[in-house]
Amino acid sequence: MASHGPAHFTGPETIEALTEDRQKMWAGFSSATTGTVIFLIILLVGMAVFLL
C-alpha cells in the first residue's frame, strides 16, 4: 500500500481570494456574536421576569 501524507492547505492564492475568505470568516463571526448576544439578552430578560 502506498502511504499518503496529509494534505497541506496553503491558503488562498490571490489577494481577491484572501479578501473573500476573510469577509466570509468575519461574516460568520459577526453572525455568531450577534446570535449569542440576542440569546443572552432574552435569557436575562426571562430570568428578570421569573424573579418579579
- The number of folded domains in the chain is 1
**Cβ-contact 11, 18 below 8 angstroms:** yes
DSSP code, position 10? -
pLDDT band at 33 (very low <50, low <70, confident <90, very high): very high
Segments forming the whole domain that contains residue 34? 15-52
- pLDDT above 90 covers a percentage of the chain that reads 62
Domain-located, residue 38: yes
pLDDT at residue 2, as a whole number = 58
CA distances from 46 to 30, 34, 49 (A): 24, 18, 5
Query: pLDDT tens, 3-22?
Result: 677 777 777 788 888 899 99
Cell of 47: 430570568
| Alpha carbon distance 29, 23 (integer Å) | 10
Domain-located, residue 2: no
Domain-located, residue 9: no
